[in-house]
Chains A and B, each alone.
Chain A
């Protein structure tokens, strides 16, 4: 290999701005931003728009930083899995040490800035969320137990609590309920993905439930967790974050979600292979809409209450 060809390879692989942005897992970040915003707006204490904007931005940066640290640690399995092969590190655009520095720097910046912009309870919660996602989930649970996403799901459930803490400076039953909603939603969401991703997790050696306990058990787990989630989501409709709009939304969505989980439960691998996992893919898409609309309904109830409407 000549010097010229070496140069062209290194130049071709030089990271662009977009590669660093991709390191922040922008799609996950949208969920973090939305749920944190709902937590912030649903809180009874009004927040100055500038402080609200800055706080949501720093929460998003913190979420992105944990995504970058996750990609740094998981670079080896990302390179094996089809779904993640094009991420910046396995694609050779960004080195592992660059991702580590980037993630650590943004983590520190986001926590300190959120503490200064809003309050230190919110800052500490954001710091704990990053720690939980990176150390507890990514480094410890993910490669160790099939319960990885059940416990690790807590990391994705913290943003509405952080948003609530930005406004109130504390934790309350309402913010814990919003946490529980995302926490209970995560397992059926990810197990549906694991079903139609087929061999990806097997090849990477990640002990997903589909790998350790088989696909039949995963289908049963999806149904059980969906029923538990439905009880929680509909039950929340009778609390202070709920109201008629939320309750109606929850009843309709949970009926659809239970129907989807029941369909998955009744199917076997032959049926799923035959239609390329149509029901599992449909359930996964519905799960995204499910969370978005539940939090949207909480937001509508909060807005209505400001005008003396909504709630019970």
Chain B
């Protein structure tokens, strides 16, 4: 039988899950933003080895 009535604990758990989800999304956005800034500024130049043709 399905449980229709939402207990207060379900609302609290939903809030916690939503919070964690948003934090993870924010963390990914920050890592992405930092990567873009560092790469475009040239902080991470790829190693330049001797090129042989």
Contacts and interface: CB of A to CB of B under 8 A. Distances in A.
A117 B12 contact: no
Contacts of A54: 30, 33-34
Interface stretch (A9-17, A130-138, A219-227, A234-242): A9-17
A57 interface: yes
A51 B30 CA distance: 9
B12 A16 contact: yes
Contacts of B33: 50, 54
A11 B9 contact: yes
A210 to B, nearest CB: 39
A17 B34 contact: no
A27 interface: no
B19 A51 contact: no
B37 A14 contact: no
A51 B16 contact: no
Nearest to B30: A54
A16 B16 contact: yes
Given A11-B9, A14-B9, A50 B16 contact: no
A48 B41 contact: yes
Contacts of A17: 15-16, 18-20
Contacts of A116: 34
B15 A57 contact: no
Nearest to B22: A17
Contacts of B37: 48, 50-51
Contact of A16 (B7, B15, B30, B34): B15
A53 B34 CA distance: 10
A contact residues, range? 10 to 19
A284 to B, nearest CB: 33
A151 B15 CA distance: 40
B9 A51 contact: no
Nearest to B38: A51
A112 B13 CA distance: 30
A15 B19 CA distance: 13
Interface string A1-34: 0000000000100111100000000000000000
Interface string B3-41: 000010100110110111000000000100110110001
Contacts of A51: 34, 37
A50 B18 CA distance: 25
B40 to A, nearest CB: 10
B34 A50 contact: yes
Contacts of B7: 11
Contacts of A15: 16
B2 to A, nearest CB: 20
Nearest to A51: B37
A57 B9 contact: no
Contacts of B19: 17
Given A53-B30, A117-B34, 13 more contacts: A11-B9, A14-B9, A14-B13, A16-B16, A17-B15, A17-B16, A17-B18, A17-B19, A48-B37, A50-B37, A51-B34, A51-B37, A116-B34
